[in-house]
Chains A and B, each alone.
Chain A
Amino acid sequence: MIKTEQLTKRYDSLTAVDDVSFHVGPGEVLGFLGPNGAGKTTTMRMLAGFVTPTSGRASICGHDVESEPLKAKAALGYLPEGAPLYGEMTVRRFLEFIADLRSLTGARRSQRLGHVIEHLQLGGVLDQTIETLSKGFRRRVGLAQAIMHDPPVLILDEPTDGLDPNQKHEVRTLINDMARDKIIVISTHILEEVDAVCTRAIIISRGRIVADDTPTGLAARSRYHNAVSMQLEQPAQLAEARAAVAALAAVAEVEVSERDARLTALPRAGATILPAVSELAVRAGLKLKELHLESGRLDEVFRTITA
């Protein structure tokens, strides 16, 4: 359980995090979204006990991060932004160092070391120094460090930042694997990530929480929610199609993209337009390459909320 109450961090004149309160329970994967500089990292650093809050409280599994820092840290696995590591150490030495700091001993120590090495596929690079590793491997070492002691709570600050699509996919698979029995908070500004791994998303802007919802709930706030998008085979039909669709009573607005001969019809609030639009397409003899119902565009919601 992660709990924050009116968590606030001020630097001189700048309020980096302003009155942030939320709870995260078991089984939840919380996506922490926001533009750069919105306060995501500062919030996570306060949860991890690296930055002291100006006011307000935060606790990890019931342990206040300020009054019981060691207990809070013991319950937490944390991946700092950019996954800083000790470059001159070999992967093996580094993981052993972390295991020692996490007070793992005897059979449990070797079992956990074996587990993270296997789980993050670090077996092939154990005796390489960390500075010689690729970005993807370094991120994996950072994740291995975070899950070394099998913590109930994981906080990962931009775990996929700077990785290529394959590596992103790997990290997301890992997070999904761990999601069942852990509380996970990840920060990101990549919106597809929210759909891929999160059960809940908090959007933060200028230090304040501006939305707290499920990914589906957020998408539903989009003006593209339940919009119908179709692509025509003949761009010449575009103008005609536009006029016909715009004439439908439930359609609020029609957007046209000449480039790919695409037409998007946005519904009036609460209206369902898919049957009407598809019927019209048949009636007007429009040749369609594709027709689909949109669930909403997260990036548009994100921009609207944080602008």
Chain B
Amino acid sequence: MRNVGIIMRRELASYFATPLAYVFIVIFLFLANVFTFYLGHLYESGQADLYPFFTFHPWLYLFLIPAISMKLWSEERKSGSIELLMTQPVELSEAVLGKFLAAWIFTALAVALTFPLWITVNYLGHPDNGAILTAYLGSIMLAGGFLAIGSCMSALTRNQVVAFILAVVACFMFLLAGFPLVLDVFRSWAPQPLIDAVASLSFLTHFESIQKGVIDLRDLLYFAMLIAFFLLATAIALELRKAD
């Protein structure tokens, strides 16, 4: 597992070696604030909490996270560096985990840089800081879920644009799994338990309570299992297609 750290550090450094990291952070912070103030009406609501901020995170992530995850494996396959990496004495699982963690830490950093908002609401009133912290945790778990899906999509293709689109579509399905748009597809033929199962996979349902500051272990477990599942799928996809 020592290699996880080595691969993670290399990966993280590579984000900052190109403009990608800076561009991403600036756009993320800009959009997060636009959503919070113009769509969420943080000021007008007259309440010192960050609900208007967190409520837009799933939609912000829908397009920004695939932009991070698309390069995870597609780029390695396209440039051939995957052959270099996989012929070092490294387990595939270590590489999958190391690269995922790097992307996750990077996203967490971008999220953490929204701290001026948190200072702002503390200046304006007396928010429930425990609830805000919980919501931050939930948001980062949500980002992890998106990233794991994106990692898997990136492992499926050598083309980063294709990886981006696949990830957006897959994440969108997971976001809306509890809504008629997705459920209607299943309603016509699937038995009720399956429909319920699909509905229970919805990101929004699980994120809903966390963003209000309520930690339910089941919600955390949901995201943890989702991440584990898609990382496993990433490893399987790579095992089958790495040399193609």
User: B76-113: contact bitstring with A at CB < 8 Å (1 yes, 0 no)?
Assistant: 00011101101111110000000000000000000000
B88 adjacent to A102 (CB under 8 Å): yes
C-alpha gap A84/B18 in the complex (Å): 18
B residues sitting closer than 8 Å to A (CB atoms) are: 2-3, 6-7, 10, 13-14, 17-18, 79-81, 83-84, 86-91, 242-243
Number of A positions contacting B (CB below 8 A): 29
C-alpha gap A17/B86 in the complex (Å): 21
Most buried by B among A49, A71, A80: A80
Closest to B6 in A: A100
B84 adjacent to A80 (CB under 8 Å): yes
A86 adjacent to B14 (CB under 8 Å): yes
Listed A/B pairs (19) with beta-carbon separation below 8 Å = A45-B83, A45-B243, A48-B83, A48-B87, A50-B83, A70-B89, A74-B89, A76-B87, A78-B87, A80-B83, A80-B84, A80-B87, A82-B80, A88-B14, A88-B17, A89-B13, A93-B13, A101-B3, A145-B84
CB distance from A70 to the nearest CB of B (A): 5
Closest to A149 in B: B89
Closest to A78 in B: B87
Interface of B is mostly: helix
CB distance from B171 to the nearest CB of A (A): 27
CB distance from B91 to the nearest CB of A (A): 7
Contacts of B13 in A (CB 8 A): 89, 93
C-alpha gap A45/B84 in the complex (Å): 11
Contacts of B88 in A (CB 8 A): 73, 98, 101-102
Contacts of B79 in A (CB 8 A): 84, 87
C-alpha gap A73/B3 in the complex (Å): 14
A101 adjacent to B86 (CB under 8 Å): no
Contacts of A51 in B (CB 8 A): 243
Contacts of B84 in A (CB 8 A): 80, 84-86, 145
C-alpha gap A102/B2 in the complex (Å): 11
Closest to B85 in A: A101
C-alpha gap A70/B90 in the complex (Å): 7
CB distance from B97 to the nearest CB of A (A): 15
C-alpha gap A73/B2 in the complex (Å): 17
Contacts of B86 in A (CB 8 A): 49-50
User: A90-106: contact bitstring with B at CB < 8 Å (1 yes, 0 no)?
Assistant: 00010001101111000
C-alpha gap A205/B166 in the complex (Å): 40
C-alpha gap A291/B89 in the complex (Å): 55
